[in-house]
A = this chain, B = another copy of it.
Amino acid sequence: MLIQPTRKPSREATEAIVRMALLEDAPWGDLTSQTLIPADATVTALLVAREPGVLCGEDLITAAFALTDSAITTDFRLHDAQTFAASDLLATIHGPARAILQAERIALNFAQRLSGIATLTAAFVRETEGTHARITDTRKTTPGLRLFERYAVRCGGGHNHRFSLSDAVMAKDNHLAILSASTSRTLRESLSALRAVVPHTTHIEVEIDTLAQLDTLEPLLGTTIGTVLLDNFSLNDLCTAVLRIGGRALTEASGGITRDTIRAIAATGVDIISAGALTHSPRALDLGLDIEP
């Protein structure tokens, strides 16, 4: 029973980004359809999959058409997070021809990108079936689209990492490097001081690159440190780290996560696998709009 994908971006946020995209694509109207197509022509268009995948973007598609002309209706046969085969009919759009032609590209731009992310995530998740690892996104999202790309990851069965720099602490390699160079305090002292000033609801995650670093952090596991990020660890070292941490903190693997490597990584027992590729390099899924004859 999936509760998660129902946590949709708000209508406000959805309409705001669609308005922006529509304006970017037609700052002073659609010259072609407004001069070529009769004002009273109506049409039925079919949103069809040209390859298999996982759907994401129904609200954005609906908004792209409705905000261009409120007389357009969009009926979805499938819903976000559901899978489809090539040639499947995803939705039927009906209404004024001019507006449907004007909004087509924007609807597809959103749907192809987000369904691409959902589909890629689902592939990663499938590889890890049977393990308890959760696949998460990162902050490597497209500027302006984070809310929607994170939703796409959830539609594909993945999970979200922190949303932003403001809602969780992640002390990464560069933080630790600068910290050791700029203060006389030990890392342990610094992290304890940090715990004392951030809100009690704030999760603290620390990145390490070697098993040796684990020694330093061990006393803080589970109290100060909620998650240890094991970056670019070998499979052997991942296993060792998971065993040594022993459930006192969550473990997260990152670095070089691909469909080929993910199963072995999940098998090490890590709790979380975060993959930037889900959002920084998805392939747009091939979806098309066919005018019904």
Contacts and interface: CB of A to CB of B under 8 A. Distances in A.
Interface of A: 1, 3-4, 6-10, 12-13, 17, 19-39, 41, 43, 45, 67, 97, 101-102, 104-106, 108-110, 112-113, 116, 134, 136, 139-147, 150, 159-172, 174-175, 177-179, 181-183, 190-191, 193-194, 197-203, 205, 226-227, 250, 252, 271-272, 276-277, 280-284, 289, 291, 293
B169 A167 contact: no
A33 to B, nearest CB: 7
19 contacts: A4-B197, A9-B28, A24-B146, A25-B164, A32-B165, A32-B170, A32-B171, A35-B193, A35-B194, A36-B190, A37-B178, A43-B178, A101-B175, A108-B140, A109-B140, A161-B200, A177-B293, A203-B203, A277-B284
B144 A144 contact: yes
Given A24-B146, A27-B164, A201-B227, 19 more contacts: A6-B39, A7-B31, A10-B26, A20-B143, A20-B144, A25-B139, A29-B165, A32-B172, A35-B194, A41-B183, A45-B174, A105-B140, A167-B167, A174-B289, A174-B291, A177-B291, A177-B293, A200-B272, A276-B284
Q: What is the interface of chain A mostly: helix, strand, loop, or mixed?
A: mixed
Contacts of A146: 24-25
Contacts of A105: 139-140
A227 B43 CA distance: 27
